[in-house]
Structure 1
Amino acid sequence: MKSFVNVSVKQEKINLLNFDRKGMQAFFVEIGEKPFRATQLIKWIYQEGEYDFDLMTNLSKSLRAYLKEHCCIVAPDIIFEQVASDGTRKWVVEMGGGNKVEAVYIPEAKRATLCVSSQVGCALACTFCSTAQQGFNRNLSTAEIIGQLIAANERVGEQGRVTNVVMMGMGEPLLNFDNVVPAMNLMTEDFAFGLSKRRVTISTSGVVPAMHRLTEVCDVSMAVSLHAPTDALRDILVPINQKYPLKELMVACKKYIATSPRGFITFEYVMLDGVNDSQADARVLVKLLKNVPSKMNLIPFNPFPDTKYECSSPEVIERFRDVLYKAGIVTTVRKTRGEDIDAACGQLVGKVKDKSRRAEKLKRMEAMHEN
C-alpha cells in the first residue's frame, strides 16, 4: 500500500475517508455524478491503496480534476511505537492540533486484532480506567477512526493484516455515534476492508439510547462494560449507570441481541480486589444475566499510578469464574497483553489536558443522542 497523505494537508478540502459507501454515493450525486462512482472510488482507496486521483483511470478526467481540486484523502500518522515482549504493539497516532490517541495491535496465531480509539480521552470517568482519569478533549472523525486501521495495515504489511477490530481504545464509541458508525461500515464493506461483522466489536459502557439506535443502522458484535452486578456499585465504578441503570441496560442488550450477528452480548467485568469479586457478587450477576444470552469476559485489573484499586488474586478470579460457569454462563479470563508497555485494557493513556470541561461536554453529547 502506498503511503497516505500526511495530516498537514489543508483541511478545507473534503476528506473522502469520512464517507462510507452511502455517504460517498450522496456526495457524488450532489456534485452531479452517478452513485456507482462511490464504489469505484472506495475500491481505489481501500483495495488498491491508491490515493492519487490522477491514477484512478476508470474515473473521467473531469471528475479526477474536480476531486483533485476539492477533495483529499487524509489519514493519521503513527508517530511512536512500543513493542511488548508478547509481540503486542502500541502506537501513538497523531491526529493534528496536538491531539494524540493510542491504538493497540495484538497478533495471534490465526488472527490479528486492532484495538481502535474513538475519542481523544474519555468523558465517562470510570474510576478504574486510567484513560478516563485524563479527561476528554474531542471526538475523532470517521477518517481518524478508519485511519487507524489504514495505518495499522500499512505498518504490519499483508502478512500481519488486521482480521479483527475492537472499538475498545480511548473513548466511548457510542458518544461519537455519527462518526463511529460510518467507520464500522467501512470495516465491514466488501469493497473496503471486508471484515466479517462477527469480527468487528463495538464496546460501550451503556449509552442506552445510542444502543437502541445502533440496532437500526449497524449490526456488528457488541461488548458491554458491566463491571458490577448492582446499581449501587455500578453507580460508583461506571458513573453513567446513574443515568442509564442496569434494568434499562439489560433491555437494550436484549434488543440488540435480536439483530446481532453473534446472537449474544459479551460482558466485560474488571476484577477489583475486595470491590466486585466475591462469590456473592457472582451469584447476583447470574441473576442479572438470567434472561440475557451472554458471554462473560473477566479482566484482571491493570494498576496505574495513583489508583486506589488492586487486582483480584488468581484464586479469587477462578472462584468467581466457577460460579458463573456452573450457572451456564460461558466465562473466560482475559489474558493480559502488552502489560509491559502500558497497552493493556484500562491503560490507554493519551496526552489530553482538558479535564475541567468533561462534565459539560458529556452532558451535551448525551443530550444529542436523546433528541
Structure 2
Amino acid sequence: MKTLFLLLIMTLSISSLAQTIVSGQVIDEKNTPVLGANVYLKGTYDGTTTDIDGKFSFETAETSTVTLVASFIGYEDYIQQSDVRELNGVEIRFRESVNSLNSVILNAGTLSAGDSSKASAIKPLDIVTTAGAVGDFVGALQTLPGTSANPDDGRLFVRGGSGEETQVFIDNSRVFRPFVPVTGNIPTRGRFSPFLFDGISFSTGGYSAEYGDALSSVLLLNTTDIPTEEKTDLQIMSVGGGVGNTQIWGKNSVSVNASYINLGPYNQLIPQNNQFEDPYESISGEAVYRHQLEKGMFKAYSAYSYSNFSILQEDINIEDGIFFGLKNGNYYGNLNYEQRLNNDWKMETGL
C-alpha cells in the first residue's frame, strides 16, 4: 500500500508539472483592451475568452510547438506559431478587418432587412489598390459579388437592376447625381474621391425602410468624423493625379482633396473604338469641415466636379459620324448635425 501510495503521488506531481500556463493581453490598434475575444490553441480544447482588461490565462498539457489563435468580430484573426513555453505574457494586437462585416441580425418577423446583414465595408486604400478601378469607388464596387460589370455604362448594376435603382447617400443625405455624365458606349465614373470617407458600406442584400426609394441596393458614404492626425495624401496615376490635406485645431478640422484626370496619353497608346476629338478630361475638388460638440458633431461637406470631352460617334445613316461634345459642371453640398440628448434620445438632421 505504501508503494502504491508513493506511485500515485509521483504521478500527480508529474501531471501537475506538465501543465503550462498560456497568458497575455489582447488590444486593438488604439491600445484599447478587447473584451470577449476568443483565445485558444489550434487543434486542442485549451482556450478561454478575455476579461474586461483584455487579459486571458489558461492551462495546457501541450509541450511542444503550438499555434495560438485569437479572434473577434470585426478584426482579423491573430495567429502565432511558437513554443508553448514562450506564450506567457503575450501581447496580441488586433487589426481591423476592412474586407467585410460578418454581422448577424435577428428580427421578430419573416423578413431580415438589416443594413449590415449583406453589406461590404471598404476602406479608401482598398479602392485605390483595386486593379482596373483607377481610383474610382464605383469601379472598385463592381468587383464585388452581386454586382454586374457593364463596361459600356460604368454605373452600379446590382442583382439585375439598373443604375438608377442603386441609391447613394453621403452622411445620410441622398445624392441624386453621383455619376459623371457621358455619352453612350463610354463608361462613367463616380464624382467623389474615396479619401475623404471613413468607410464605404455597400449593401447587395436587404436594407432598412429608411432607404425605401432604393430598389436594388444602397451605397453609404460616411465622411470621417474625427481625424486622428494631420496628414497629406498624394495620388499618382498614369492618367492623372490628386492631392489631399487634413488640418486639426482644437475641436475643429478641415480636409480638402483635389484630383485631375486626362485620358489623352492613354488614347494615344491604346487604340480606341471611338474617335475622340477632345479626350476625356476632368477636375474635381472636395472639402469637409467638422466641429466636435460635447455630445455630437457638426459637419459641412462640399464637392465640385468639371468634365469635358468631344467625340465622333459612328452612325449607319451618316458617313462622317455624329459629333457629340459635353461640358459638365456639378456642385454638391450637405450639412449634417447630430446631438445625443440623453441615453434614449438622439437628434440628427441634414440639409
Same-fold status (TM-score > 0.5): no
TM-score by length of 1: 0.25
The answer to which structure has the higher helix fraction is: 1
Pair member with larger Rg: 2
TM-score by length of 2: 0.26
